[in-house]
A and B are shown apart, each in its own frame.
Chain A
Amino acid sequence: MKDAFGTPQSLLVLGGTSEIGLATARRLVARRTRTVWLAGRPSPDLEKAAAALRDMGADVRTVAFDALDPESHEESLGKIFTEGDIDMVLLAFGILGDQARDEDEPLSAVRVAQTNYTGAVSAGLVCARALQSQGHGSLVVLSSVAGERARRSNFIYGSSKAGLDAFSQGLGDALHGTGVHVMVVRPGFVRSKMTAGLEEAPMATTPDAVAEAIETGLRRRSETVWVPGALRVVMSALRHAPRPLFRRLPV
């Protein structure tokens, strides 16, 4: 169960090798979290991540999960919930893609969309239903500022996050009053292996900062969290910038 400050005792991370996911797990394990499920494609990295959390004292299990195979989600995720309540599900999987290549190869663009959006729709719904039947829990969805307004430089990734973001907001409204809390997290540029080699955007942040913002959001039962917080204002302005102007901005 969550405590009065929203800190979960059990956590399921979808995208078990995600740096933000693991930074959040570390932070929560240092508080109350004792049971962690890391869901992802079986790999040495996934096992390494599990071992690192075990060293912190958590009971960690890994489970095979593939965002690109929505038909398996019902079974692979469903069985986790039969083993006990999950207080928080962190939907942290996603790929950035390579904008230039994806524009040339529509199929690789589709793969970005299927991972980030379609995979999340199915996994999100499966988890939401399980959380609802246990009468409590948080579903935390990692969206992105990139979904707030499509930019020339990464609109394929951005559009997939825009879809995910809208889906999560709607799911949050659907679950309002059921005891299940949906929180959409919109980080800006996060310095991580996903963005390694890319030119850093203004107001860049770190996985640890995102984890901290998630913990605060849980305490406040927030519905939307921006990281860093000032991005809320910046993006509000950018969202309304006229397109001829927006095109010329160095964003």
Chain B
Amino acid sequence: MPADSPTDSLATPSTGSPVPPAPVATSDAAPVAASDAVSVSGWGRTAPTTARLVRPRTQEEAVAAVRGCGERGGIPRGLGRAYGDAAQNAGGAVFDMTGLDRVRAIDADAGTVVCDAGVSLHRLMEVLLPLGWFVPVTPGTRYVTVGGAIGADIHGKNHHVSGSFSRHVLAMDLLTADGTVHTVTPGTPLFDASAGGMGLTGMILSATVQLQPVETSLMSVDTERATDLDDLMARLAATDHRYRYSVAWIDLLARGAAMGRSVLTRGDHAPLDALPARARARRAPLAFRPGQLPAAPSFVPEGLLGKASVGLFNELWYRKAPRSRTGELQKISTFFHPLDGVPHWNRVYGRSGFVQYQFVVGYGKEEALRHIVRRISERGCPSFLAVLKRFGEGDPGWLSFPMPGWTLALDIPANLPGLGAFLDELDEEVAAAEGRVYLAKDSRLRPEMLAAMYPRLDDFRALRADLDPRGVFRSDLSRRLAL
């Protein structure tokens, strides 16, 4: 897929100015020319398929789009940050939700916001931070929409304290397959099926979200190094509860005694009195100014991220981190979203793209985690983005990913020979440990594994069969995994 394809234009932050109409990717010479068909892929850029892109700008247009989406159905899509095929729908419609982008109401006293599903977390931060409020949960990128955050039931570095995103959703408007709009509140089956339901229960139109109060837009961050996996797990288990946000970057190429060496970064929102008296930040403690570097080039040769280059990067990254440092003030963008600083960073993997593997295994299954980390490090998967976190209490969503336990996420170039079979083996170990992999990042799971990983899958299927018997809401993910 060419890097300047419409998929990438979808991925650009759309706040402020509307996304230009996507160019037509079909050739006129094709036997059947679907003139408005575009190639769509996930953030990992594997397995692109073609769909009709529909961009509703009002609720009425959204209803019309769902009613008229045709035989192969449709799926809502936000900013395209899901790694796999969750927001693709081959041969059918893809509803680009970024046209529904209004922040409708903010209650600055109670700390709630009502906004359209297509509003990004970036936009919410721009609007809310000056008022002293922050989004309750943010993943590693600000460029996800509120609708996508609920659909994937995203989590952040604060899951052990705050749970996942939909735990902070007070209500949402959901457009279902019959073309009607329902206000859905927590505690109902429709809410629990939609939180983490990958857009398959209907199109989220708007949501009311409970926010997190902050005094400043800076983070107070503690950094330390762990020499190996056991050291890391011990440190995380002993002290995680003292921090709102906690994450560890692991060097998965380190082997032998250094296996699992890592850098822990933990922190909380800096209170006003933590800012030095004469610092510039004192004058505007709630300013939000994320910086941005130039975008990754549109063509990157294949195989740039091999064992040698990633090994070198990991070595430097580990050495660069302080052995121990406390109370460092960092910008929100530096602490939460370092990769957002490089637009289109997904291009560095070349045209065959990459897969992200994220799984969770419960507390008490540490042996399984150790074994998997050892296998990954012995195999030499060139992953420079590997993070380990601890999840807190599970969330009510039927297909929600988080459960109490350890979660590891890693990026791997898709062109690595034998990777498919290797990840299948890891799935077996994860499932044997009663863990699961994250659907928002999946692009390769065997359908047979799903029921073991998600015990409420049958409830989800039954609700969908009832709510949407014709399968109006459908995606490549739902076809691949028979969701």
Q: Which residues of A contact B (CB under 8 A)?
A: 1-7, 9, 31-32, 34, 85, 125, 128-129, 132-136, 173-180, 216, 219-221
Q: Which 6 pairs between the two chains have the least Cβ-Cβ distance?
A: A135-B91, A179-B50, A135-B90, A4-B46, A4-B443, A1-B480
Q: Which residues of B contact A (CB under 8 A)?
A: 25-27, 29-32, 34, 37, 39, 44, 46-51, 72, 84-85, 89-92, 351-353, 355, 414-415, 417, 419-421, 443-444, 446-447, 476, 479-480
Interface hub of A4, A85, A134, A177 (most chain B Cβ within 10 A)? A4
Name the one of B26, B92, B415 contacting A177, with C-beta atoms under 8 angstroms.
Answer: B26
CB pair A132–B90 under 8 Å, yes or no, is no
CB pair A178–B27 under 8 Å, yes or no, is yes
CB pair A220–B37 under 8 Å, yes or no, is no
CB pair B420–A31 under 8 Å, yes or no, is yes
Contact A134/B72 with A4-B47, A32-B446, A85-B479 known, Cβ cut-off 8 Å: yes
21 contacts between A and B (CB under 8 A): A3-B47, A3-B420, A3-B444, A4-B47, A6-B47, A132-B31, A134-B90, A135-B49, A135-B89, A136-B47, A136-B49, A174-B30, A175-B30, A177-B25, A178-B25, A178-B34, A178-B37, A179-B37, A179-B50, A179-B91, A219-B415
Which residue of chain A lies nearest to B85 when distances are taken between CB atoms in the complex? Answer: A1
CB pair A5–B419 under 8 Å, yes or no, is yes
Chain A interface, >50% SS class: loop
CB pair B415–A129 under 8 Å, yes or no, is no
Contact A135/B51 with A1-B479, A1-B480 known, Cβ cut-off 8 Å: yes
Contact A177/B27 with A132-B32, A135-B50, A136-B49 known, Cβ cut-off 8 Å: yes
Contact A136/B30 with A5-B419, A220-B352 known, Cβ cut-off 8 Å: no
- Whole-angstrom CA separation of A133 from B447 in the bound complex: 24
Say how far A25's CB is from chain B's closest CB, in angstroms.
17
Given A128-B31, A177-B27, A179-B48: 4 more A-B contacts, CB < 8 Å: A9-B447, A133-B32, A134-B90, A220-B352
CB pair A177–B480 under 8 Å, yes or no, is no
- Whole-angstrom CA separation of A85 from B478 in the bound complex: 13
- Whole-angstrom CA separation of A128 from B31 in the bound complex: 8
Say how far B90's CB is from chain A's closest CB, in angstroms.
4
Say how far A185's CB is from chain B's closest CB, in angstroms.
19
- Whole-angstrom CA separation of A136 from B480 in the bound complex: 12
Say how far A172's CB is from chain B's closest CB, in angstroms.
11
Which residue of chain A lies nearest to B421 when distances are taken between CB atoms in the complex? Answer: A31
Contact A7/B420 with A32-B446, A136-B91, A220-B352 known, Cβ cut-off 8 Å: yes
A128: chain B residues at CB < 8 Å are 31
